[in-house]
Amino acid sequence: MRPFAPQLSIQGLLLAVVASGALAGEFESRSHQCPHLPAARLEWASHYRACPLPGTVTLADESSQGFAWAFPLKCITPAATENNTAPRADCLFTSTSFRNGHGISLIASAITTSHLIGMGSFDDAPLPLAAQQRLSLGPAYKIVPVEGKGMGVIAARSIKRGEIIMTDHPAILIGTSFLANSKPHHRRRVLKQAIRQLPEATRKKVESLQRGKEEYEVDAILGPNANTVLLGEEGGGQVHVGLFAETARINHACRPNAHSKFSERRLTMEVMAHRAIEAGEEITMSYIPITTPIEERHKYLKEHWGFDCTCPLCRSSKDAIEESESWRRRQTSLKSTIEDARKQGFYEDAITMSEEWLQFAEWDMIPPLAPEFQDSLVDLYLQNGDMVNATRYARMAYDGWAKFGSVDDEKLEDARLMVNKIDKINEEKRQR
């Protein structure tokens, strides 16, 4: 698998960026960089003040400088209201070359799309070294029929705790404003077109997903298989619905052995192992936040996915279930207490409670992402003026992120900057 092979269309865009003088280095953060030339060709583009819009970019056959979407854009503009004179149009953008021909159909506002292009989300930069090494290990999973559940994902070989099992890209990404504001028949027509425009292999994967009971085909495909992910302008906090055709095959368990993490910068879902997994074992994830109490879990699973949970935990003894519920309650309360202590400046208390937090890893209640935990301790030790421990955890976090080997090396880069910052503080102290 070579998911990040170079793509000419993206490079064409980057050339246009360079030509306009908007080099990445001139901006503090790549995410705030305006991605391309303001050549306002669409009426509504002039309503926006911020970055130039991807809707203004020419199609491949019209110009060699534009971002080459594979099909003419299809846009839906909701009716203007009194408070909203410049309604937010949502368009269907399809790239068939994305990730070495995996392809993607994005239904989002022009601003969100512009933001993603500017951040390099469609860009096929080489993978970080650890991610490349992981690929050489061969596939960690296979998709096979699982008794009583249709299809499922099982481990093709033994998998280590914390290892990334699967990397998957969205076939379709949909902004929730489009889902909320479009008329049902418009919505279905655009969604159908979004699927139809995908490259054949990806389209077939999408069409073969297990269907829900919804009346219309697109709703039945999306209903039980879609995920929500956060991305977009203003700090990446906007809910989008994503269809990840491989991740969607992973079945639910209330005490799962895997957990997923989405990277906006790489438009990639990474699934990692909570604990060591044997070859042949089913890979499971929780479809709802892990701390949700059992009654709510069962109700939600039934309402949203239409099944009664028969996972190993739900089939186990009353005592085992009660033990798991008490872990969930403790985690919920500890999380808010740590946050309160941090806000009020009780750093020592926050540190002690954070150490306690580690216990949850034993019960597979938190992803075994030690570097994430160490990052937060670095911050607490720094605030508390304990440079010895801040230095120790900063180095551990850096080593941890390097070893984790995500396709997105943003955390690794943050950890490296933190180590440098702490080294500088230590050096200044020595000189005093």
**Can you tell me the distance from the alpha carbon of 228 to that of 231, in angstroms, rounded to the nearest whole number?**
10
Residue closer to Zn ion by CB (options 167, 324) is 324
The strand pair at 172-175 and 104-109 is best described as parallel
Is residue 390 a contact point for Zn ion (CB under 5 A)? no
Residue closer to Zn ion by CB (options 309, 377) is 309
Interface region with Zn ion, contact rule CB under 5 A, candidates 53-61, 99-107, 307-315, 410-418 = 307-315
Residue closer to Zn ion by CB (options 60, 288) is 288
Rounded least distance, CB 311 to Zn ion, Å: 3
| Contacting residues for 111 by C-beta, under 8 A, at least 6 apart | 48, 50, 51, 53, 88, 232, 233
Three-state DSSP class for 84?
A: strand
Binding residues for Zn ion restricted to 317-356, rule: CB under 5 A: none
Residue closer to Zn ion by CB (options 102, 259) is 259
**DSSP annotation string for 9-61:** HHHHHHHHHHHTT--GGGSSSGGG---S-----SGGGGG--SSPPGGGSPPTT
Residues touching Zn ion: how many (CB under 5 A)? 4
**Residue 72, exposed/middle/buried by CB under 10 A (0-12, 13-18, 19+)?**
exposed
Other C-beta atoms lying within 10 Å of the C-beta of residue 182: 18
**Can you tell me the distance from the alpha carbon of 181 to that of 341, in angstroms, rounded to the nearest whole number?**
41
Residue closer to Zn ion by CB (options 250, 338) is 250
**Can you tell me the distance from the alpha carbon of 277 to that of 161, in angstroms, rounded to the nearest whole number?**
7
- For residue 46, which of 9, 89, 7, 11 has the smallest C-alpha distance? 89
- Answer for which of 194, 311, 394, 396 binds Zn ion (CB under 5 A) is 311
**Can you tell me the distance from the alpha carbon of 22 to that of 37, in angstroms, rounded to the nearest whole number?**
9
**Can you tell me the distance from the alpha carbon of 398 to that of 407, in angstroms, rounded to the nearest whole number?**
15
Residue closer to Zn ion by CB (options 53, 314) is 314
Residue closer to Zn ion by CB (options 157, 252) is 252
Rounded least distance, CB 226 to Zn ion, Å: 21
Rounded least distance, CB 254 to Zn ion, Å: 3
Is residue 254 a contact point for Zn ion (CB under 5 A)? yes
Rounded least distance, CB 260 to Zn ion, Å: 18
Interface region with Zn ion, contact rule CB under 5 A, candidates 33-41, 123-131, 308-316, 352-360 = 308-316
Rounded least distance, CB 326 to Zn ion, Å: 16
Rounded least distance, CB 302 to Zn ion, Å: 11
Rounded least distance, CB 256 to Zn ion, Å: 9
Is residue 314 a contact point for Zn ion (CB under 5 A)? yes
**Can you tell me the distance from the alpha carbon of 417 to that of 423, in angstroms, rounded to the nearest whole number?**
10
**Can you tell me the distance from the alpha carbon of 94 to that of 336, in angstroms, rounded to the nearest whole number?**
42
Residue closer to Zn ion by CB (options 143, 288) is 288
Rounded least distance, CB 250 to Zn ion, Å: 14
DSSP character at residue 127: P
- Answer for which of 91, 92, 191, 309 binds Zn ion (CB under 5 A) is 309
Three-state DSSP class for 261?
A: strand
Rounded least distance, CB 281 to Zn ion, Å: 17
Residue closer to Zn ion by CB (options 288, 334) is 288
Interface region with Zn ion, contact rule CB under 5 A, candidates 20-28, 253-261, 349-357, 414-422 = 253-261
Other C-beta atoms lying within 10 Å of the C-beta of residue 263: 19
Residue closer to Zn ion by CB (options 143, 321) is 321
Residue closer to Zn ion by CB (options 51, 254) is 254
Is residue 290 a contact point for Zn ion (CB under 5 A)? no
Rounded least distance, CB 394 to Zn ion, Å: 38
Q: Which two tokens stand for residue 281?
A: 């074992």
Interface region with Zn ion, contact rule CB under 5 A, candidates 86-94, 198-206, 254-262, 404-412 = 254-262
Interface region with Zn ion, contact rule CB under 5 A, candidates 2-10, 19-27, 210-218, 310-318 = 310-318
The strand pair at 251-252 and 284-285 is best described as parallel
The answer to whether 54 and 93 have CB atoms below 8 angstroms apart is: yes
Interface region with Zn ion, contact rule CB under 5 A, candidates 117-125, 175-183, 313-321, 364-372 = 313-321
Q: Which residues contribute to the site for Zn ion (CB under 5 A)?
A: 254, 309, 311, 314
